[in-house]
Structure 1
Amino acid sequence: MTVRDQPSRDNELGDFLRARRAALDPHGAGFPDDGRLRRVPGLRREELAQLAHVSVDYVVRLEQGRTRRVSRSVLDALADALRLAPDERAYLFALADAAPAPAVPPSGRPPVDPQLRQLLATMHDVPAMVLNRRLDVLAWNRAATALLTDFGTLAPGERNLIRLTFLDDAYRALYADWPRAARDCVATLRMEAGRHPEDRELTSLIGELTACDANFRAWWADHRVRGPRQLTKTYAHPLAGPLTLDVQQFTVDTRPDQQLIAYTAPPGSPAHEGLRFLLQWAPAPRG
């Protein structure tokens, strides 16, 4: 892969604005066909400038990375003009606030508190894990091993849900709808990359996936973002069959970079019975 193909954080704000401008239907934004040929899909720069009440030159400078600091009122106007969803609006503000970069955090993975590990161990019937913002798997319980994989058999650097989703064939096969799940992963990763441009391990993960997977490269270029929300995931488990599970996400007050993730199903549902069957045969996790 050439240097040009490598992911760059030099002008994420401009790249995002161009991507969202290209994705917006001009007719839906109120611009009728004027007979001029559009060289690229989406809004022209002058149309975005008109909607956001800024100059065309200002839009050009933003997209070219020649203006890094943007007022909140202008960001709101751009977000409204581009009809950004709440996650996309939050991502836009995160990119604009990224300069100057904050202090670089220490490398490595923060420890999981013993009390949190004890909580995981007591969740006998609920697959659960502790993740950081990069979706590194920091701790897991027996039920998570039964549902997903035995993370203890993997090298620490390979215990990452997004990396497994794209680069591990067995893990990938667990998803009933892999493209949808994988695209959601990319959107989550891009949101975190916008919020934490200083995270070198996150940048390294993005570079690895960009180099190794064509789908990741294409979906990363879409600039789709998503933040926390109520989720359901459907797995095609080789032992328990199809399992549609609710994904519960809990922040850890003592460790702001960590989340407790739990997979549940309504009592009496096929997925609940499938989990019960699966846990009867689950070995104790390693690691």
Structure 2
Amino acid sequence: MSEDNRSDQNRLGNYLKDRRSRLDAASLGYPPSRRRTPGLRREEVALRANVSTTWYTWLEQGREGAPSSEVLERLARALVLSEIEREYLFLLAQNRPPALQHPPESTVSPQLQRLLDAMETIPAFIKTADWTVVAWNRAAITVLADYSAMPLKQRNVLRMVFLNTEKRRLMPEWENIAGFLVANFRAETARAGMSDTARLLIDELSAASPEFQALWLDQNVRNHGEGTKKIQHPEVGIIALDYSSFAVDGNPNLSMVVYNPATEHDKANVLALLKRSSGQNLAYDTVDREVYK
């Protein structure tokens, strides 16, 4: 077996050794004694991670099985890994990312907001895993809903679909939309972590909406993916929109949903609505000021 193949088979051990060699011993409080190699010694990492030196040596040499999540967390702290490095450590050791340590963030960067604003004729918004809209563009509030006029709680799409009878009348395919949303909500909250906010939302909707309760008990899961959605706009009638969803890198709680007019006729209706809204000189915020930091 070649050296390259042996190296590839011990990816976890090689990664641990590389991260260990990059640590600054002096900054971690170790005396500036002569060291034959850069970084910390194996016994020093083992002590910091509260594992035996022998076990850690075997781990670097590829002679041990997959460490537990608890041990991996201790190793990540001992090696002063960043979040992305910690995730990579878990992927190498267990073929899965680590469990979320902190509540997911709902902040939207200025760059992401500028991307939304650049889509002048395409409705788009940023949502959390529980389908609360936290940022949007002008086309979204003109065609979909005026999120800028709503408090945070009312901007939850599940509440709009199951608790707002006026919004429900504007959805010709309400049953399909409702089933899709609940199945997607279940998958996304599992991926991002079931927060206290999501649990309260489930309890609220289950108590107030028999339809939601039945769909939630179905245990169906779906990805958002792509498709076509029809809405009944009070000014121009039916608008068909092709939708796609995109993950926000580094934040499992956020995704961007983009609605592109499905036909030239739909595009003309969207442009007509945008022209009317521009003529009215509407002033609005395009981002949730309660979570944008």
Normalised to the residue count of structure 1, the TM-score between the two structures is 0.60
Given that 2:129 and 2:192 are in contact with CA atoms closer than 8 Å, whether structure 1 keeps it comes out as no
Distance across 2 between alignment mates of 1:144 and 1:103: 31
- Identify the residue that residue 201 of structure 1 maps to in structure 2: 197
Distance across 2 between alignment mates of 1:256 and 1:189: 13
Distance across 2 between alignment mates of 1:285 and 1:208: 29
- Identify the residue that residue 261 of structure 1 maps to in structure 2: 257
- 2:145 corresponds to 1:149: yes
Of 224, 229, 234 in structure 1, the residue corresponding to residue 225 of structure 2 is 229
Distance across 1 between alignment mates of 2:217 and 2:252: 29
- Whichever residue aligns with residue 275 of structure 1, its letter is V
Higher helix share: 2
- 2:135 corresponds to 1:136: no
Distance across 1 between alignment mates of 2:99 and 2:133: 25
Of 185, 188, 201 in structure 1, the residue corresponding to residue 184 of structure 2 is 188
- Identify the residue that residue 124 of structure 1 maps to in structure 2: 120
Deviations 1:209-240 (A, max 9, x none): 10110111111111121113212100111112
- Whichever residue aligns with residue 102 of structure 2, its letter is P
Percent identity between matched residues is: 32
Aligned residues: 186
- Whichever residue aligns with residue 284 of structure 2, its letter is P
Given that 1:105 and 1:199 are in contact with CA atoms closer than 8 Å, whether structure 2 keeps it comes out as no
- CA change 1:103–1:209 in 2 (3 A) is same
Given that 1:150 and 1:285 are in contact with CA atoms closer than 8 Å, whether structure 2 keeps it comes out as no
Distance across 2 between alignment mates of 1:248 and 1:233: 11
Q: Which runs of 5+ in 1 are unaligned?
A: 1-100
Q: How far 1:114 sits from its partner (Å)?
A: 0.5
- Identify the residue that residue 278 of structure 1 maps to in structure 2: 273
Answer with 1 or 2: which has the greater Rg. Answer: 2
- Identify the residue that residue 59 of structure 2 maps to in structure 1: none
- Whichever residue aligns with residue 106 of structure 1, its letter is P
Given that 1:141 and 1:285 are in contact with CA atoms closer than 8 Å, whether structure 2 keeps it comes out as no
> How much is the aligned-residue C-alpha RMSD, in angstroms?
2.2
- 2:214 corresponds to 1:215: no
- Whichever residue aligns with residue 240 of structure 1, its letter is V
- Whichever residue aligns with residue 212 of structure 2, its letter is F
- Whichever residue aligns with residue 285 of structure 1, its letter is Y
- Identify the residue that residue 106 of structure 1 maps to in structure 2: 103
Structure 1, 152-161 or 259-268: larger mean CA deviation: 259-268
Q: How far 1:257 sits from its partner (Å)?
A: 2.4
Given that 2:131 and 2:158 are in contact with CA atoms closer than 8 Å, whether structure 1 keeps it comes out as yes
Give the 3-state SS of the residue equivalent to 2:258 in structure 1: strand
Answer 1 or 2: higher relative contact order, Cα 8 Å, separation at least 6.
1
Structure 1, 149-158 or 241-250: larger mean CA deviation: 149-158
- Identify the residue that residue 165 of structure 2 maps to in structure 1: 169
Q: How far 1:120 sits from its partner (Å)?
A: 1.4
Structure 1, 192-201 or 181-190: larger mean CA deviation: 192-201
Deviations 1:25-46 (A, max 9, x none): xxxxxxxxxxxxxxxxxxxxxx
- CA change 1:267–1:178 in 2 (3 A) is closer
- Whichever residue aligns with residue 174 of structure 1, its letter is L
- CA change 1:273–1:196 in 2 (3 A) is same
Given that 1:165 and 1:182 are in contact with CA atoms closer than 8 Å, whether structure 2 keeps it comes out as yes
Q: Which runs of 5+ in 2 are unaligned?
A: 1-97, 288-293
Given that 1:147 and 1:237 are in contact with CA atoms closer than 8 Å, whether structure 2 keeps it comes out as yes
- Whichever residue aligns with residue 232 of structure 1, its letter is T
Alignment of 1:62-73 (within 5 A): none
Alignment of 1:9-88 (within 5 A): none
- CA change 1:272–1:167 in 2 (3 A) is same
